[in-house]
A and B are shown apart, each in its own frame.
Chain A
Amino acid sequence: MNYLSKISRRSFVIGSAAAGGGLAIGFDLPFGPKSAQASASEPELGVWVVVKPDDSVIIRIARSEMGQGTITGLAQLVAEELECDWSKVSTEYPTPGQNVARKRAWGSYSTGGSRGIRESHEYVRQGGAAARMMLIQAAANEWKIPVEQCSAANSIITGPDGRKTTFGKVTEAASKLPVPDKPKLKDPKDWKIAGKPLKRLDTADKVTGKQIYGSDLKLPGMLNAAIKECPVFGGKVKSFDAARVAGMKGVKKVVQVGNTGVAVVADTWWHAKTALDALPIVWDEGPNAKVSSSSIADTLKQGLDAEQGFVGNKSGDAKAAIASAAKKVEAVYSYPYQNHAPMEPMNATARYTADKCEVWVPTQDGEASFAAVLAASGLPADKCEVYKINLGGGFGRRGAFQDYVHQAVLIAKEMPGTPIKLLWSREEDMVQGRYHPVMQCKLVGAFDKDNNLTGMHMRLSGQSILAAVRPAIVEQQKGRDPLAFQGVFESGEHAFGYTIPNLLIDHAMHNPHVPPGFWRGVNINQNCIFMECFMDELAHAAGQDALEFRRKFLGKHPKNLAVLNAVAEKIGWDKPAPKGIYRGLAHMKAFAAYVAAAAEISVTDGNKIKVHRIVAATDPIYAVNPAQIDRQVAGSFVYGLSALFLQECTVKDGRIVETNFDTYDSMRIAQMPKVESIIMPSGGTDPWGGVGEPTICVAAPAVLNAYFNATGKRIRSIPLKNHGITMV
C-alpha cells in the first residue's frame, strides 16, 4: 500500500529549525532527544521541504486535511517562497512521533479553530524561503560566485551570465548547508502561487475510490472491532454474556474496553457488528439515567434570571439603563445539542506489542492522538507512533477528543501483535458524540423616548465546552469560559462588532452530563443567532431599517461595517426585493475574520421556506486560495442551515435519542441555495483570519430575519423542524 510504504521509507536528520510552539496543547508530551538517520536519497532543506534530484518537491504539512483544503493552501505558501515549479509539488505528513522526537520542529498539529493556515503561515513561508536560500547558495558555491548574483524561479536557478541549473541538481549540496534563520518574506502583493485560485492537490484519488480513509485501511493479519459504550454518559458496564456470541461466525474475542465499553473482535467488521448487536450487555447507567432535554432546559432557564454571571463584555451600566428605559424589548432564545456526524464514522487502527504501539487514524490533531496512544498503551514516546490518514470529515469531533484512539489501543492490547481496526457504527457515532453545547439566552434592550438604544443586557445560560475539555483555562479565568462569548467578547479574534452604550454580556454556566465539544464554528453558531436576530428585533421595535440600525453601532468597527455593506450592496438592500422574496442580514467577527450574509427566501403556507440565495462576504485579512475559500463558505452554509432547520440531539433517560440520519437529517442538493461569496481580504498587519468556520454563523440569523420579514413571526429556538417549518 502506497501510504504504508511512504511511512516506512521516510526518515529524517536532526532538525535545527524550531517552528511554532508556545500554544497550549492541552496535554503533556515528552520531548526526547531521539533522532533518525538522514536519508541520502531525499535531501531535506530545513524541516518543511524536500527536493529530490529529479526536481520533485515534497512539502511537509503538519495540519490535517479533512476537506477544507489546508494542505493545498499551506503548500501554496511554502511554494511561493521556495520559488518552485508548482506542478512538481506533492505533500506529506511528518508523523507526530517525529515531531516529538525533533522537539516539535513542525509546531502545532492541531487542526481546529480555523487555525491551520492563519496560525502557521509565517513559519511555513519562512521554511520555504529558507529552502530557496539554501538551494541558491548551493548553486553559487558550485559556480564559485557571490550568492547575490543568483536568483530562483520555477525551480530553476539563474546566474549572472544567464547560466542555469535546477533545484534537483543542487539539492544534495544544499541539504548540507545550514538552515537560514528567519528569512525575509515576500510582500503578499508579489505572490504568484499563494493568493491564486489553484486546484486542490488531493482531488484525483477522491473520484476514483483510491483515496484511503481510516475506515478503508488494510494491514496484514488485521482483525476488525465494533464497540458499544454505555449509552448513558457517566454510566459503565455491569456485565455482558460473551458466551452467547462466542460461536458466531468470524468472532475472535469479546473484550471489555475500560469501565465503559464492550467490543467484539472478528474477521470482518460486519461479523463484529452482527455479534455485538446480539451480545447481551447490562449497563450500570449511573446517576444521570433520569436526565432529559426538558430537565436540562429547566435548569438553564433558571440561569436566565440569576443575579450574577461570568462577564464577557461590559461597558457603562446596562442594568441601570434598562431600569430607566422609556421602552424595553426582551427576548429569550435557545440552541440545542447537535452532533458533528461526519460522513466517516470514528475509527482507529492499532497494533500493540510490548515494544511498540502504532496507530493509524484520521485525526484533526496528530499530537493529541499520540498523547492518547501513550496514555492507553503505557509505553514511552519512543515506542509509540501515529500515522495520520486524511479524514472523512472532522468538524471538531476528531481533534480534542481521541476516545476512539484510546479504545482501539485498549482492544489491541488484548491481542498483542494483531492489528485491530476499530470502526464505530453510525449509531455509536450519534450517541457517543461530543455535542454542540446547549445554550439559552435572554436579551433585553433599552430605548429612550426618542427611540435611541441606551443599553443592552445579553445573558447566556448554558454549557461550557472549556469547563469539560480545557478546565485549566477556566480555572485560570476564575471560573469563566472566555470561549462562551465567541463573537460577542470584549476583545480579540472574537470581539463584539457593535459599540453599544451600557452593555453587559454575561454567562450563567450550567454543565449538564452530556459531553460538549468543539463543533464547526463552536459558540458563534448560537451567539450570532442570539445577537443578530435580536438586533433585528431592536431595529423593528425602533421602527428602523435593519441595516441602518446596525450601521449606527459600527462606526468604530470599519471592517465589520465593510462586510455588512458589501452583502447589502450586492443583494440590493436599498431596492425592493422581487415579489414574494424576503431578505435578512447578519454579520460577525469570528476567528479573526469578518463575515456577513444577506439571505433571500420565500415562504409557502407560512411554514415552507425556500432559501433562494445567500450573498456572503468574508474578510480573512489575507486570502491564500480564493477558490477554496469560496467552497468553504458555501459548505459552511450547508452545515449551518442543516443545523438551523433539521438537527437536534434530544436527551431521554440520560442518553441521546437520535441514532441515525433518519431522525438527524442533513440538507440535500435540492435545498441548496445559490451562494455568492465576496472574498475581500483587507490585508495589512492585522492577524490573519480563519476560513473554515467563520461564515457558518451568519446564514442562520440571516434566514431567520428574512422569515420574520416574510411572516411577522420571530422564531427563537432551533431547529425549525420543531416549529413545523420545513426547508424546501
Chain B
Amino acid sequence: MANLTINGKAFDLDVEPDTPLLWAIRENAGLTGTKYGCGIAQCGACTVHIDGVAIRSCGVPVSEAVGKQITTIEGLASANGALHKVQQAWIANDVPQCGYCQTGMIMAVAALLKDKPKPTDADIDTAITNICRCGTFQQVREAIHQAATA
C-alpha cells in the first residue's frame, strides 16, 4: 500500500513500493494522461512534477514519491478549469500531431517556465529532451516562446 498525493488529492493505492510511479499513476490512480513510452527514462512521455520538479515517472519507485506533491497533466489546469498557459499556447499553435508524447512535453515545458520564465533557445535545448517521433519540435519551440510572453 502507498499513500500518494496526486493533483492535491490523497490516493491510497494497492501497489508494491518498488512499482514505478508511472504505473501507479496510470493503473492504480487511473490517470492515463501520463504515458508509457520507453520505461527507461529516455523519452519523457511519462513526465510529471514531483514537488514542482519535472521527473520521468517510469524511473521513480512509488516509495520515493510518498509524502510529496505529485502533479500530472490532469492537474496542470487551474482548479477553476482554466488551462495552463503552456496548454493554451499548445492549442494556439496547433502543436500536437499524434499527441501521445505531448502531455509529457507540456509537463516538461511547464517546469522549465517556472524556473526560467523567459527561456532562450539554448535554455530550451538544454531542458527539453523529450522524444517526439511525429517531429513537432518546430511548433514546440514557437509555442514555448509564446507561452513565455503570455
Residues of chain B in range 20-43 having any CB-CB distance to chain A below 8 Å:
20, 23, 26-28, 30-40, 42-43
- CB contact list, A370-409 vs B, under 8 A: 390-395
- Tell me, yes or no, whether B51 is within 8 Å of chain A by CB: no
Q: Does A639 contact B (CB under 8 A)?
A: yes
Q: Is the CB of A249 within 8 A of B16?
A: yes
A204-B140 in contact (CB<8A)? no
Q: How far is the CB of A677 from chain B (nearest CB, A)?
A: 10
Minimal beta-carbon separation of A361 from chain B (angstroms): 15
Instruction: Tell which of A209-217, A477-485, A529-537 binds the partner.
Output: A209-217
Chain B hits for A631, CB < 8 A:
94, 97, 136, 138-139
Q: Is the CB of B124 within 8 A of A203?
A: no
Interface residues of A in 599-632 (CB under 8 A from B): 627-628, 631
B42 touches A662 (CB 8 A): yes
- Asked whether B131 lies within 8 Å of A343 as measured between CB atoms, the reply is yes
Measured in the bound complex, the distance between the Cα atoms of B65 and A449 in whole Å is: 75
B131:A670 contact, CB within 8 angstroms: no
Question: B63-98: which residues lie under 8 A (CB-CB) from chain A?
Answer: 72-74, 76-77, 83, 87, 90-91, 94-98
Q: Is B134's CB within 8 Å of the partner chain A?
A: yes
B145 in contact (CB, < 8 A):
no
Alpha-carbon distance A394/B100, docked complex (angstroms) = 11
> At the interface, is chain B mostly helix, strand, loop or mixed?
loop
Given contacts A341-B133, A343-B131, A395-B133, contact A208 B35 (CB under 8 A): no
Chain A 264-296 interface 0/1 with B at a Cβ cutoff of 8 Å (1 = within): 000011100000000000000000000000000
Q: Which of B31, B99, B106, B132 gathers the greatest number of chain A CB atoms within 10 Å?
A: B99
A86-B30 Cα distance, complex, nearest whole Å: 35
**B40 close to A662 (CB less than 8 A):** yes
Are A216 and B32 closer than 8 Å at their CB atoms? yes
| Interface size classification for chain A | 35 or more
Q: Which of A30-38, A64-72, A299-307 has 4 or more CB atoms under 8 Å from chain B?
A: A64-72
Q: Is the CB of A670 within 8 A of B27?
A: no
Expressed in whole angstroms, the minimum distance between the Cβ of A674 and any Cβ of chain B is 8
A326-378 residues with Cβ-Cβ distance < 8 A to B are 341-345
A596 at the binding interface (Cβ < 8 Å): no
Contacts of A667 in B (CB 8 A): 135, 137
B residues near A425, Cβ cutoff 8 Å: 39
Residue numbers in B under 8 Å from A212 (CB-CB): 32
How far is it, in angstroms, between the C-alpha of A631 and the C-alpha of B42 when the chains are bound?
A: 24
CB proximity of A226 to chain B, nearest CB, Å: 12
- CB of A637 closer than 8 Å to a CB of B: yes
Contacts of A204 in B (CB 8 A): 91
Min CB distance A676 to B, Å, is: 10
207-232 of chain A: CB within 8 A of chain B: 207-213, 215-216, 218, 224
Q: How far is the CB of A282 from chain B (nearest CB, A)?
A: 25
- Alpha-carbon distance between A209 and B110 when the two chains are bound, in angstroms: 15
Contact, CB under 8 Å: A393 / B134: yes
CA distance A639 to B97 in the complex (A): 13
Closest Cβ neighbor of A640 among chain B residues = B135
Q: Which of B94, B97, B126, B141 is A635 in contact with, Cβ under 8 Å?
A: B97
What residues of chain A lie closer than 8 Å to B36, measured between beta carbons?
A: 215, 345, 423, 426
Judging by beta carbons under 8 Å apart, are B124 and A669 in contact?
yes
Does A638 sit at the interface, judged by CB under 8 A? yes
Q: Is B45 a contact partner of A209 (Cβ separation < 8 A)?
A: no
A residues 239-277 near B (Cβ < 8 Å) are 249, 268-270
Decide if A634 is an interface residue (CB 8 Å cutoff): yes
Query: Is B103 close to A, CB under 8 A?
Result: yes
Asked whether B125 lies within 8 Å of A670 as measured between CB atoms, the reply is yes
| Chain A residues, CB < 8 A from B95 | 203, 207
B35–A343 contact, CB under 8 A? yes
Q: Is B128 an interface residue (CB 8 A)?
A: yes
A439 within 8 A of partner (CB): no
**Shortest distance in angstroms between A705's beta carbon and chain B's nearest beta carbon?**
22
Closest to A391 in B: B98
* Candidates A206, A342, A670; contact of B96 at CB < 8 Å: A206
Find residues 412-440 in chain A having any chain B CB closer than 8 Å to their own CB: 423, 425-427
Interface residue from A199, A268, A661 paired with B94 (Cβ < 8 Å): A199
- Of A206, A209, A668, most buried by chain B (CB within 10 Å of CB) is A209
CB proximity to B under 8 Å, residues A502-517: none
| From A207, A393, A627, A670, contact of B103 by CB (8 A) | A207
Q: What's the minimum C-beta distance from A393 to chain B, rounded to whole angstroms?
A: 5
Contacts A269-B23, A270-B20, A344-B35: A669 and B137 contacting too (C-beta < 8 A)?
yes
Contact of A209 among B74, B131, B140, B141 (CB under 8 A): B74
Give the distance in Å from the alpha carbon of A618 to the alpha carbon of B83 in the complex. 36
Q: Are A207 and B35 touching (Cβ within 8 A)?
A: no
| 1/0 contact string of B105-143 vs chain A (CB within 8 Å) | 010000000000000000011101111111111111100
Given contacts A68-B97, A345-B36, A661-B43, contact A666 B83 (CB under 8 A): no
Give Cα A634–Cα B38 distance, bound, in whole angstroms.
Answer: 24
B38 near A208 with CB under 8 A, answer: no
**Cα separation A666 to B35 with both chains bound (whole Å):** 18
A170-206: CB near B (< 8 Å → 1, else 0) gives 0000000000000000000000000000011011111
- Whether A207 contacts B23 in the complex (CB less than 8 A), given A426-B38, A634-B138, comes out as no
- In the complex, the answer to whether B43 meets A638 with C-beta atoms within 8 Å is no
Given contacts A209-B72, A669-B125, contact A268 B38 (CB under 8 A): no
Query: Is the beta-carbon distance between A218 and B30 smaller than 8 angstroms?
Result: yes
Is A660 interfacial (CB 8 A cutoff)? yes
Q: Determine the chain A residues whose CB is within 8 A of the CB of B124 once the complex forms.
A: 669-670
B99 touches A638 (CB 8 A): no
Q: Which residues of B contact A394 (CB under 8 A)?
A: 98
Residues of chain B within 8 A (CB-CB) of A345 are: 36-37
B82 CB to closest chain A CB (Å) equals 12
With an 8 A cutoff between CB atoms, is A99 at the interface? no
Residue A636, interface by CB 8 Å = yes
- Chain A residues positioned under 8 Å from B42 (CB to CB): 660-662
Q: A675's contact among B23, B40, B138, by CB below 8 Å, is which?
A: B138
Q: Which B residues lie within 8 Å of A390 (CB)?
A: 98-99
Contact flag A638-B37 (CB < 8 Å), given A67-B99, A207-B96, A660-B42: no
Question: Which of A268, A393, A668, A675 touches B28 (beta carbons < 8 Å)?
Answer: A268
Q: Per-residue 0/1 for A440-455: is the Cβ within 8 Å of any B Cβ (1 yes, 0 no)?
A: 0000000000000000
Give 16 A-B contacts (CB < 8 Å), ordered by A residue: A203-B95, A207-B102, A216-B32, A249-B16, A343-B132, A343-B134, A392-B100, A395-B133, A627-B94, A631-B138, A635-B136, A660-B38, A667-B137, A669-B128, A669-B129, A675-B138
Query: Which 3 A-B residue pairs are closest in the complex by CB-CB distance?
Result: A209-B33, A638-B135, A67-B98
Given contacts A343-B100, A393-B98, A668-B137, 8 further A-B contacts (CB under 8 A): A202-B99, A203-B99, A215-B32, A343-B131, A390-B99, A393-B134, A634-B139, A669-B141
Seen from chain B, the residues whose Cβ lies within 8 Å of a Cβ on chain A are: 16, 19-20, 23, 26-28, 30-40, 42-43, 45, 72-74, 76-77, 83, 87, 90-91, 94-103, 106, 124-126, 128-141
